[in-house]
Structure 1
């Protein structure tokens, strides 16, 4: 499995976190898991569409182009053939770039992009295929620059996201609202409309991601890692990780630390936790996530 992230050009950094490419010409049939990260994504399936295993027990194929809205639990995917995906990970406060006012109602869904904006969906599909022909992310960067030119994020939500990111979600929402000079209800309403999660949900996701990075990078005891990231105790961390990932901290730590190329069921999830930035083989990306080792896995 090959996973690579491309940082956006300067003109897109406010709206886009990265463009990523996932390829696997001979995937196994294991169910792969992706953990929530607080970001929405635009996805193009250029290989055989992955099978999505829903919490309702249904198994369905991904759409060739779709909008992955905010998730509040693990996403389970299964390959049905050669995998080739291109994704654009949006900044949290730019989550409504394509979904607009429909964003809050799309939580835990990944609708066909054509149902949101058929003209943009066709252009996105064509640009993704052009990226392969180049090969370069430039066709998608050009399309996104045109789209972002007419889009302005909510400044309040953008500031709130930055403040929560700075402390890995370790702020009480009432205190966050006070620092921003607004009522908690105002913050709640505008944050949900802009990000697709409530401030509390987003804070939980950021704390989850921080704990995952620590479990991946360090040999720290699980209880120590949990306390460092604001969990009251290991039981609290276990409850949250089961909700968001379907795994206990101990099982995640064993899988991440035991083999960096890892257990098949966590290879994809680990790849997205670690990141792998094009052209930076031994550095950390802009988001602060460690770069994956070759074939190490991320989303």
Structure 2
């Protein structure tokens, strides 16, 4: 069955390939500087098994004028509030790099019985290792390279500025993070790392196991720090295997869910015009640049 048109849910969520039935719902948390539209290829690769919902982070794309919460704790609380009405039926979290840390802390912040069945962390050190709150002074070229955007924006100074703003916004809030020990979550947890990741090695990831009371797994795949691109289907195949191997569980009792009237279909080509305040006869060139930069590249 062909997925529907992409739609947005409120300010924070994009559903790139909506499903008519109610499959497993996979919430995706982008890496630093990443954008929700990058999950369009994954959404189609996982359909109809799973329906992808991707976070639309502030300071990029159609949310270029939206401020980032001032601290990581506030960001987590905001994400929990935005996801809450949509956490019905089986669902999981998939986070890449900084997005993995946000996915983990979001799962911890949810009440028992409302947490994801599956948490997949990609290219991310364990939470207790994210302890240094001091900014790492990386130059612009290194930031763009680590975010997988170096070649994409190298020839366009304005596009380069937009990309760097998104990356630095994410890193600023990351530097407010402080790990706090807590009981392990009951979600099954699987972590994945590229065999050529210059920032991580598989031996650094075993500590993830102590953060779950469910099953734990570790997979090493070919690739660097950003494991997936439009051309690479490895993460989709791994996620398919993990989702289909989840044992069926009785439905958890749910509390009241507030009605959501903010869902609306959207032409992905015009996603970045949703929050425009300029006149129609005066196109916002910066928004057009943001659309170009945020085209699906990596997840």
Normalised to the residue count of structure 2, the TM-score between the two structures is: 0.28
Report 1 or 2 for greater relative contact order, CA contacts < 8 Å, sequence distance ≥ 6: 2
More helix by share: 1
